[in-house]
Structure 1
Amino acid sequence: MRVIAALLISLITGSALAAQATAVFAGGCFWCTESDFEKLDGVSEAISGYAGGDEADPTYEEVSSGATGHTESVKVIYDPDKISYAQLLDWFWRHLDPTDADGQFVDRGRQYRGAIFFETPEQEKQARTSKAALEKSGRFEKPIVTEITPLKAFYPAEEYHQNYYKRNPLRYKFYRYNSGRDQFLEKHWDDPDHLPGGKKENTEAPMSWRGPEHFNKPDEATLRTRLSPLSFQVTQEDDTEPAFKNTYWDNKQQGIYVDVVSGEPLFSSTDKYKSGTGWPSFTKPITPDAVTTREDSTLWMVRTEVRSSYADSHLGHVFKDGPQPTGERWCMNSAAMRFIAKEDMADAGYGQYLTLFE
């Protein structure tokens, strides 16, 4: 019986292990790269470490000196039945500066260079194909210089670097915001956290809003893992994103804007106008009861704060200097919302609002 049990355990364990695959990427500070990849559905873990050099078992101090040839990297452990290597590549390109060969954002030096370390000929082929596609797209004016190179070895970083974004959320948020990373990504990608052909684990609003009876707001710890640092700061800590450096301030597509936490509909492009403020502005909410308002006396002035009705997310403020017919300017934060294009509304469960565009 013990032999049979051992064989069963072996078969079960072997099957579980067979479902896992690995990929190694370098995108600058491994705290950020680890955090970005662990948002993905199908990724079980991203391990911070070092790759690209010849020195065995390097320390953080040795790598950060720039003398080892290693770069800060992450090993992504994923289920290929849930997410493909091609989708990981797409995600990777959206979360670094591929035109910078000498570091990433505030971190300078080859120890922070971007790289794709392939483990098989098929990974190399897909990596080079994806890089060529990015070059052909013309999204960046400068050449794409990210290295694509064979993986010699991957060395896990010290324990205190693993899951740094979870263990030290305040320090991590401060570092990430001041690094300029997210500002760069938002400038070059309409939605850097959108994965074509794949799905992420709760990093944006639910695909549809089924009503308040089906919505339970997640706790703070869960929201910190589901939302980007900026979206958490805005919706949960009443922060304000930079003007003109946010996703939707100049969005001219037809569609609706929904709460990033709950998916509840908030505003329509039919009521959006160019206010010149650098934030998405509307003349009214999508329905009168879509939002709530309350007095806000912070910043040494009295303003009217706007929050979503059910998720209670901080959205922005409403002012009395807007155009007619309402005379109101509903000045919102892009980070508090997700945009659903008109052509996607029916599939996403918002078909009832298509009458707004008739």
Structure 2
Amino acid sequence: MIRFEHVTKRYRGTSKPALSDVDFEVQRGEFVFLVGASGSGKSSCLRLILREDNPSDGRVVVLGRDLRTLSTRKVPYFRRHIGSVFQDFRLLPNKTVFQNVAFTLQVIGSSRAFIQQAVPEVLALVGLDGKQKRLPHELSGGEQQRVAIARALVNRPQILLADEPTGNLDPATSVDIMQLLARINAGGTTVVMATHEAGFVDQMKRRVIELRGGVMVRDDRHGGYGDTSAIPSLTPQVEKGAAATAALTAVLELQRQIASAPVQPVPVLTEPATDAGTPASTPARPAASAATDVPAARQTPPQAPAQAPAPVPAEPAPLTRPIAIDAPEVDLGELGLGDIDLGKLGVADRLDERQDDEVGPTS
């Protein structure tokens, strides 16, 4: 039916051949998968079978004809025996479903009576009965592919070539197309399909010819897809999502640690004006000033002077004991209270008027 005899195909401008010494034979009624990564030579094989290209070396024999000896004038007659289905459908947008399918028969000169009988039959075969008058844009992607299959089958070819027929379809529709191709093959049509759909290949267990870099590396009568390392996976996206999740988790953990950490002690300045970040508190007064302002009868015994702490270049050591505050910190600067002078508010004078025993550093 189809025979490749040590076929090599080279294209101009390329140093590596698209096919290198490919040798296989497909029998009548077989269902054959051509598998392999992009650029492995699957489409080149289909073009050679359709006589769109000629081999650089070797021989391609289809339906008992050596395609090297086939004249250009006879190529259209030869292709009448071969149906082809592509990934992009290739429908005529301004013609109805019936007209798209009938166009193939009109080109080869079929009679009107034969067209009126054959087109409804093939549309019923592919599951499009009742949709003859619809335009391609009124159909789903799966229905458009069915129209393309019907157009390839209406002339009742002996061979059906399918180049990634499910590439533009969703998984459920792809299953329907594969079941349709299996029914067509069961009717006696030889099917050669180039595909990346590893699941279908593994499930159907048909003959598998694997190409790698233009070289045929495997020919299994009831095989699976085999090496899936060249099929794109979602691993980069999964890693990217995991990294984003880890980063977000780290940020949330940092926020939790900041929220649960104790508030740092609030420094108290010895100047009359309080700092913007400290609560209003009574500033410490020198002992001499206290002795002068308070009557002798009510003076308390002078306290022992505290040992002066080591000088700190950044700021003087606080004279009061820090107060731990559990409430969140409030930036008085944002409230417009950052530059408050206690002297201007009269707070210092009121503190001087206090005649009680609470003289000295406060808590």
TM over 0.5: no
The structure that has the greater radius of gyration is 2
TM bracket, shorter-chain basis: under 0.3
TM-score when normalising by structure 2: 0.24
Instruction: Pick the structure with more strand per residue.
Output: 1
Structure with more relative contact order (C-alpha pairs < 8 Å, separation 6 or more): 2
